[in-house]
Amino acid sequence: MISSKYTIRELNQATLLKTIIDKKEVFRAELAAATGLNKASVSDITKKLLEEQLILETRMGDASTAGGRKPIMLTFNGQAATALSFDVGYNYLEGMLSYIDGQVIATVTKQRISVTSETILPLLEESVVDLLANVPDTPHGIAGMTLGIHGVVFHDQPVFTPYYDLDTIDLQTELANHYDFPIFIHNEANLAALGEYTFSSHYQNLISISIHSGIGCGIVESGKLQLGKHGKAGELGHSILYPSGRPCPCGNAGCLEQYASSKAVYEEFARVKNLDYVNSDILADYVKKEDPQANELIRKNAELLSIGINNMIMMYDPDVIVINSSLYQKIPEMTDHVNDALTSRFTRDTLVRTTRLEGNAILFGALAITAQHFLNIRKLKLGDF
Ligand SMILES: [Zn+2]
C-alpha cells in the first residue's frame, strides 16, 4: 500500500488528473494543450500519477503508424482505492463498498432496526466488517467513509435530527477515533444531489428533491453544493404552501411537506379508501388499475409539489431538477403531472425528471464526497453519460 496518500495536494496534479478523468482517454500531448501546463510539467506530473497508480498507460488506436507501435494513452485508474458509503435512516441502514469510480463491490442492508445514538456505532461496525470481508487489494486502500444522515448536518456533525437522536453525540469524533480512514457526514438530500451531479448528469446546475416522510432538496450550483450558513439550505418541505394551514413540527403552519410528501399522500389515500396502511406499491397498483380516486390524488399531489419546484426554479435557475422518491419512481405519471403544471414562461423550459440512480443516489453522493477528498478534485464527474 502507498503510504499516507489520502489526498493529492498539489494543485497542478489535481488539475491534470481531473482532465484525464473528464476526457476518459488522453495522449500526453493533449494534456499540455488542455491544462495550459508546459510539456515538462505534464511529463513530471504524469510520472508521479503513474507511480501512485492513480492513472494507467494503455496502448490504443491505429497501429499502422511508424514502427507499428500503438500510441500510449492515459486513463484514470478507478480502482486505485475503495470507499465505504452509508445511508443512515432512523429505521434502516444501507451500506456500499465500491471502488472510487463507482463500481460497486458489495452492499449491505439492515431493515426494521432502530438507529439511535446508542445503536449507531455497533450497527455501523457490523456493517463495515461485513463489507470489508470482500475488500480487494488496491494501491491506496480505503479512501474514506461518508455517512448520509436524515436531518441538518453542519461541518460533519448532525445538528438537528428530528427522527432520531444522532444530534446528541459527537458522531464524527467517535467514528474518527475508531477508524483509521477519513470520516465525512452529510445531509442525505445534499448527498442525493451530489450523487446525481457526479454520476448521472453532465450538468453544472442541478437540484435534487428527495420526497419521503418529508421533502428535502440538495442544490448544486456551478458544481458546488450550496449548504447555507448553518447547513439548512434546501429545506424545501418547510416552505409555506398555505398560510394558517396544517401545523408542522418545525413551528410553522401550512408547510409544503404536510401536503406533498409521500407520507401525506399515503395518509390521504388511506383515509379516502378506508385502508389501514398505504405505501408506494399499494398506491401504484391502484393507479395501474386506473382507480379514479388514486388518479385524482396523485395529480393533486404532484401539482402541489410543482408549486415548490416552481419556487426553486425561480430562485436557482437550474439546468435540471431530479426527483428522488420511490413514489415518483413507481408512478411515472406523477412526474408528467409536475411537468404539465410548470407552464410559466420562466419554468416551462426547465427539465424535471426522476433519478437514474435507482434509489442509490444517497450512497453515490456519499461516495462522491469521499472521492472528492481523496483526489482533491471539486466538480468531479465520474459517470458515463
Ligand atoms: Zn415545517
Write out pLDDT tens, residues 150-204: 988 999 999 988 789 999 999 999 999 999 999 999 999 999 999 999 999 999 9
CA angle, corner 27, sides to 26 and 31, nearest 5? 80
At 83, give phi and psi (nearest 5°). -145, 150
Q: Ligand 1 mean position to 305 CA, how many Å?
A: 15
The confidence score (pLDDT) of residue 242 equals 96
Q: Ligand 1 mean position to 156 CA, how many Å?
A: 24
Task: Check whether 70 has a pLDDT greater than 80.
Answer: no
- Dihedral sign, Cα of residue 192, residue 193, residue 194, residue 198: positive
Q: Ligand 1 mean position to 249 CA, how many Å?
A: 6
Least confident of 75-79, 178-182, 226-230, 238-242: 226-230
Maximum Cα–Cα distance for the chain, whole Å? 80
Least confident of 111-115, 127-131, 161-165: 161-165
Q: Ligand 1 mean position to 168 CA, how many Å?
A: 22
Mean pLDDT of 294-300: 96
Span 330-339, pLDDT tens digits: 999 999 999 9
The end-to-end CA distance of the chain, in Å, is 32
- Which pTM value belongs to this model? 0.90
What is the distance between the alpha carbons of residues 320 and 135, in angstroms, rounded to a whole number? 36
- Dihedral sign, Cα of residue 200, residue 28, residue 79, residue 171: negative
Task: Check whether 303 has a pLDDT greater than 90.
Answer: yes
Q: What is the overall mean pLDDT for the chain?
A: 91
| Percentage of the chain modeled with pLDDT above 70 | 95
What is the distance between the alpha carbons of residues 339 and 351, in angstroms, rounded to a whole number? 8
pLDDT bin (cut points 50, 70, 90) of residue 3 is very low
